[in-house]
Amino acid sequence: MSEYETYMEEKSKIDSYFDRGYQVISIFENLSGTFVDFVTGEGASEREVVQLKLLTAEARKYIATKLLFVN
């Protein structure tokens, strides 16, 4: 898979979590990639934590931009 396709897949996952009301609770970066922890929103009956691994630099920039401009 090309880097662009990988980025588009990661971007789609990020957007999907935000669209479903998940919130970012932590971001950890190391040589393997960036790990973003999402948790279900306040209105959820049961809290669920999901970890997403980002491999592309573009996806890392995208999540940072989303966090800066999220309402």
Query: pLDDT (tens digit, 9 = 90+) per residue, 9-38?
Result: 999 999 999 999 999 999 999 999 999 999
Domain containing residue 18: 3-69
Which pLDDT score is estimated for 71?
A: 56
For the chain, give the mean pLDDT: 92
Q: What's the N-to-C CA distance of the chain in angstroms? A: 33
The reported pLDDT for the residue numbered 69 is 85
Q: What strand order describes the sheet that includes 49-54?
A: 23-30, 33-39, 49-54
| Residue 70 scores a pLDDT above 80 | no
pLDDT of the residue at 41? 76
CATH of the domain at 29: 3.30.920
User: What is the domain count for the chain?
Assistant: 1
- Per-residue model confidence (pLDDT) at position 43: 67
